[in-house]
Amino acid sequence: MQFDIENIVLGVRRSDYLSLSKCISFIENQQEGSAGFVSNLKPSPIPVVGITGPPGAGKSTLIAAMIRNLVALEKKVAVLSVDPSSVIHNGALLGDRIRMRDWYLHPLVYIRSLASRGHLGGLVKDIESIVTLLKSAGFDFVILETVGVGQSEVQVVKVASPTILVLVPEAGDDIQMMKSGLFEVANIFVVNKSDRPEAAKFVNHLRQALDERVGVKCDLVQTIANAGEGVDELLSIINNYHEH
């Protein structure tokens, strides 16, 4: 199978993502010639943001809010959402198509589900190659949503900068669990659903825990993603990371 990156870029420019989708499958399935195709790509230096966090933290709601603000700026956004694999067909469960349904058919937005296929690290085996393709295809912004959180879910930091860890005010006990994993490598900590009781107490506790990370720069943002609050501040911090 042969792919021409110029045709893929032209399709993205026209909001026709069929060739891009076929090429991602070509890379994901490691078909013959895929490695050579990727090695000849010339990726642009666009932001690639990794977003992870425990189930129920509101990662997809936060991503939808980020998309809304980016689209308002006429930015073209690609989202890779890694889902657990189906035990029947080994493909993605496509949960993002429900959680981000408002954006699935928007001409400035490309959302792709990828199956983890049991791969540790929270992403998929060929995520670096797929990201390289997206960075070469004419997008302005790439978002990676990982399948979960834990000590093995740190592959995202190898392909994304910055990495965002999304937490909720009830996640106090989870901080201890994550301290030897993502807690040590995330750049931005988002306390979502910060209108909930005990949010201020949790934020203070989190700040104290982050102060222990000597010499490591990180930011903390409070959001209410379903209301869009705090999203502009988060995107501003992301742009600062990308610029520097």
pLDDT digits (tens, 9 = 90+) for 49-93: 999 888 888 998 999 999 999 999 999 999 998 865 433 334 444
Q: What is the CATH number of domain 5-243?
A: 3.40.50.300
d(CA 53, CA 51): 7
pLDDT given at position 180: 55
Q: Which residue reads 């222990």 in tokens?
A: 212
d(CA 132, CA 173): 36
What are the backbone dihedrals phi and psi of residue 166, each rounded to the nearest 5 degrees, phi first?
-95, 125
pLDDT given at position 173: 59
The answer to which of 5-19, 34-48, 162-176 has the lowest mean pLDDT is 162-176
Q: Is the peptide bond before 84 cis (omega within 30 degrees of 0)?
A: no
Residue 128, Cβ neighbours under 10 Å: how many? Answer: 15
d(CA 71, CA 107): 10
Is 147 exposed, middle or buried, given 0-12, 13-18 or 19+ CB atoms closer than 10 A?
buried
d(CA 13, CA 127): 23
pLDDT given at position 146: 82
pLDDT above 90 for 210: no
- Domain boundaries of the chain, sorted by first residue: 5-243
d(CA 73, CA 62): 17
pLDDT given at position 177: 55
Confidence band for 120, pLDDT divided at 50, 70 and 90:
very low
Greater model confidence, 122 or 192: 192
pLDDT given at position 87: 35
Coil, strand or helix: which one is 163? strand
pLDDT above 60 for 149: no
pLDDT above 80 for 48: yes
Residue 200, Cβ neighbours under 10 Å: how many? Answer: 12
Residue among 58, 102, 69 at smallest CA distance from 231: 69
Confidence band for 125, pLDDT divided at 50, 70 and 90:
low
d(CA 170, CA 172): 6
Average pLDDT (158-177) is 79
d(CA 195, CA 183): 23
Average pLDDT (201-210) is 88
The answer to which of 14-18, 104-108, 145-149, 226-230 has the lowest mean pLDDT is 145-149
d(CA 203, CA 223): 11
pLDDT given at position 94: 46
Note whether 141 and 70 are within 8 A (CB): yes
Contacting residues for 197 by C-beta, under 8 A, at least 6 apart: 169
Exposed e or buried b for every residue in 19-50, given b needs 16+ CB within 10 A?
A: bbeebbebbbeeeeebeebbeeeeeeebbbbb
What are the backbone dihedrals phi and psi of residue 56, each rounded to the nearest 5 degrees, phi first?
90, 0
